[in-house]
């Protein structure tokens, strides 16, 4: 099976822990503008960024995006 990231779930995860994008920016050093782009699906996180964000909010990397199964590698 092959998967690709679907919709970013960052906003959902931040709501669950009652935190803001500004808080995430402050604790990770990632610019708030970048976090906003991830949350609104204008940009996809790199693996290193996803690892940093997942650690900061206390979730798994897999929890940051919906998973879409595709039939072949695109």
What does the domain layout of the chain look like in residue ranges? 2-70
Question: What b-and-e string marks burial along 21-50, b requiring 16 or more CB atoms within 10 Å of the CB?
Answer: bebbbeebebeeebbeebbeeeeebeeebb
The pLDDT, as a whole number, for residue 71 is 75
The pLDDT, as a whole number, for residue 72 is 65
DSSP 42: S
Domain 2-70, CATH among 3.40.50.620, 3.20.20.80, 3.40.50.300, 1.10.260.40: 1.10.260.40
pTM, entire model = 0.88
Encode pLDDT of 15-72 as tens digits: 999 999 999 999 999 999 999 999 999 999 999 999 999 999 999 999 999 999 987 6
The pLDDT, as a whole number, for residue 3 is 87
DSSP 63: G
Cβ pair 44, 37 in contact under 8 A: no
């Amino acid at each position: 099976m092959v998967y690709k990231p679907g919709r970013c779930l960052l906003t959902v995860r931040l709501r669950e822990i009652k935190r803001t994008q500004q808080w995430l920016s402050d604790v990770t050093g990632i610019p708030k503008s970048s976090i906003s782009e991830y949350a609104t699906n204008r940009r996809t996180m790199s693996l290193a960024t996803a690892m940093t964000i997942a650690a900061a909010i206390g979730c798994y990397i897999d929890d940051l995006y919906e998973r879409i199964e595709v039939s072949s590698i695109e």
